[in-house]
Amino acid sequence: MKTFTLGTSKEQVMRLIPDKQIKIVQLGATKVCVTRDGENFFAFETLCPHRKANLSQGFINGIQEVICHLHEYRFDLNTGRVTSGQCPDLTIYTSELSDEGLKIQIIL
């Protein structure tokens, strides 16, 4: 497992990741999607487990789910569990906002 840090302060990370928008970031050899809901940050795999659509083109609803733009499958951002549709769950990466930036753990 490796921990990556985005930004150098809480304020910088809040500006880098606008509320309910999805950004792709490169963490070592792995690309991940990052989003936030207020001060709650979420990191998850970039491709939908169903048909491999790019989840950065999806959107975040009001109950902390990412919705794939292709077939509207929904995934809980806290657990990765599919909540609408039938496919494997989404891979979620542990993330934590601190005064030093956003820490994201990737399993290598």
Kindly report, residue by residue over 33-76, the tens digit of the pLDDT: 999 999 999 999 999 999 999 999 999 999 999 999 999 999 99
Which superfamily, per CATH, for 2-106?
Answer: Rieske [2Fe-2S] iron-sulphur domain (2.102.10.10)
pLDDT for position 107: 85
Kindly report, residue by residue over 80-103, the tens digit of the pLDDT: 999 999 999 999 999 999 999 999
Q: Do 31 and 25 touch, CB atoms closer than 8 A?
A: yes
Q: Which two tokens stand for residue 17?
A: 């990741």
| pTM of this structure | 0.95
Q: What is the residue-averaged pLDDT of the chain?
A: 97
pLDDT for position 99: 95
Domain locations along the chain: 2-106
Q: Do 48 and 55 touch, CB atoms closer than 8 A?
A: yes
